[in-house]
Structure 1
Amino acid sequence: MTNETSTANVVLVVAHPDRNSATWAIGRAIEQGIRTDGTASVTTHDLSRAGFDPVFGEQDLEHYRNGGDAPADVRREQQLLDPADVIVVLFPVYWWAMPALAKGWIDRVFTRGWAYDDGPDGGPSAINELHFVGVAAVDEGTYDRRGYREAMTTQLQHGIAGYSRIDESSVRLLFGAETADPHVHEQLIAEGHKIGADMARRAQAVFDRAVEA
């Protein structure tokens, strides 16, 4: 992936239909964190409002099996991601995993020859960095006791990013989104801002390396 813009860029992909949700409140905090020092820009992609179809259909299967052109809506998604130095996927946790909208986006958009190459020579991914931010309704202890955090990390960081040979990736879970305690919500917003600032630094580092190359 090559960023041909004049500044570092983060693409924030959000998979939640309600803009008044805790997930979107955290998303806005991530946006603010990215913009804090003015070194990086952010492009926010609302999968729900964009009308993205997460169902892996016949055209997707044909592309997977025989190559050729990806479906037009998939190429539009990839073209949106192409200039990104860092990609962040923000989603509410449903049944200890990504919701169908986010998972289907990965299924369809992360195509062979673009996101990964499973051939004998194993070419690089088009993605520089991929980071997942999950918003959980319950407390952190539930995830640790049941092993949900480890399971999600294995699936997302190792199963998706690792398989795609994306060198830098992470899974961050934010807990207690459905609590009535306002202090918890303040902490979630603060954590979102910190994540955004970290993503801006990461994007700037990727951008600088590309300029120097």
Structure 2
Amino acid sequence: MSVKNVVDNALIVTAHPVANSLSHSLAAGIAGYLRDQGTQVEVADLHAEAFSPAMSQTDLEVYHGNAGALPADVLREQQRVERADMLVFVFPVYWWSVPGLLKGWFDRVLTLDWAYKMTEDGRVVGNLRQVPVRLIATAAGDPEGFDKHGYTQAIHTQVVEGVFHWCGLKDTKLDIFYQSDAATAEQIDAFLKNLTSTM
């Protein structure tokens, strides 16, 4: 089934400070592919937009369930998510996880009673509309090293399960481009082609 038939709008979130980085190149390639399929694409460049990852007092009030207006930047990101039929996150691996900027996006944007809720008996229920989520990570290390030390599983546990499954998004896939610092143009093209063929 093609993207054209199932995805009208996609949101691509990037978290790399360098505009001509591999992360941005992959994001641009994915955006181009989706647009060719007839999908409307919005790109949230968190660095270029100066998104603040730091939790504020207002953010913590929301987290603790106290009524109040969401910060404007958080509301903007939530509206982007609500418009999207697919979420794509493209980021480098820093210390075996997502960059602090993207972690802060998770912390601030995926709020209680919007992304998830607590039931009266203490269970967590995801609130987000079921859409596919693609996590595209670039990593300097090789897969053998990641697997030997459990880093691939750690990212899966922390982000795939601990963030997206928590919010009800079960169709979440992680792709890691290993040894990306030394990748050739041919390897980058092959990785991108493989990514888009599964979207």
Same fold (TM over 0.5): yes
SS in 1 for 2:23: helix
The amino acid that maps onto 1:162 is H
1:11 CA drift (Å): 0.5
Q: Kindly indicate whether the alpha-carbon contact (under 8 Å) linking 1:132 and 1:156 is maintained by their aligned counterparts in 2.
A: no
Task: Name the CA distance, whole Å, in 1 between partners of 2:149 and 2:31.
Answer: 32
- Asked whether 1:125 is paired with 2:128, we answer yes
The amino acid that maps onto 1:14 is T
Q: Kindly indicate whether the alpha-carbon contact (under 8 Å) linking 2:126 and 2:165 is maintained by their aligned counterparts in 1.
A: no
Across the aligned residues of Structure 1 and Structure 2, the Cα RMSD in angstroms comes to 2.0
1:153 CA drift (Å): 0.5
Percent identical among aligned pairs is: 34
1:123 CA drift (Å): 5.6
Which structure 2 residues correspond to residues 62-141 of structure 1 after superposition, within 5 A?
Answer: 62-65=61-64, 66-120=66-120, 122=125, 124-126=127-129, 128-141=131-144
Cα gap change, 1:127/1:53 in structure 2, threshold over 3 Å: closer, same or farther? farther
1:79 CA drift (Å): 1.1
Q: Which residue of 1 aligns with 2:177?
A: 174
SS in 2 for 1:152: helix
1:13 CA drift (Å): 0.3
Q: Which residue of 1 aligns with 2:48?
A: 49
Q: Which residue of 1 aligns with 2:28?
A: 28
Q: Which has the higher contact order (CA 8 A, sep 6+)?
A: 1
1:100 CA drift (Å): 0.5
Task: Name the CA distance, whole Å, in 2 between partners of 1:81 and 1:124.
Answer: 12
1:186 CA drift (Å): 2.3
Task: Name the CA distance, whole Å, in 1 between partners of 2:129 and 2:114.
Answer: 6
Task: Name the CA distance, whole Å, in 2 between partners of 1:47 and 1:128.
Answer: 21
Q: Which residue of 1 aligns with 2:18?
A: 18
The amino acid that maps onto 1:51 is A
Q: Kindly indicate whether the alpha-carbon contact (under 8 Å) linking 2:126 and 2:167 is maintained by their aligned counterparts in 1.
A: no
Task: Name the CA distance, whole Å, in 2 between partners of 1:84 and 1:194.
Answer: 22
| Matched length | 190
Query: Any unmatched runs of 5+ in structure 1?
Result: 1-6, 200-213
Q: Which residue of 2 aligns with 1:147?
A: 150
The amino acid that maps onto 2:81 is L
Task: Name the CA distance, whole Å, in 2 between partners of 1:123 and 1:19.
Answer: 34
SS in 1 for 2:75: helix
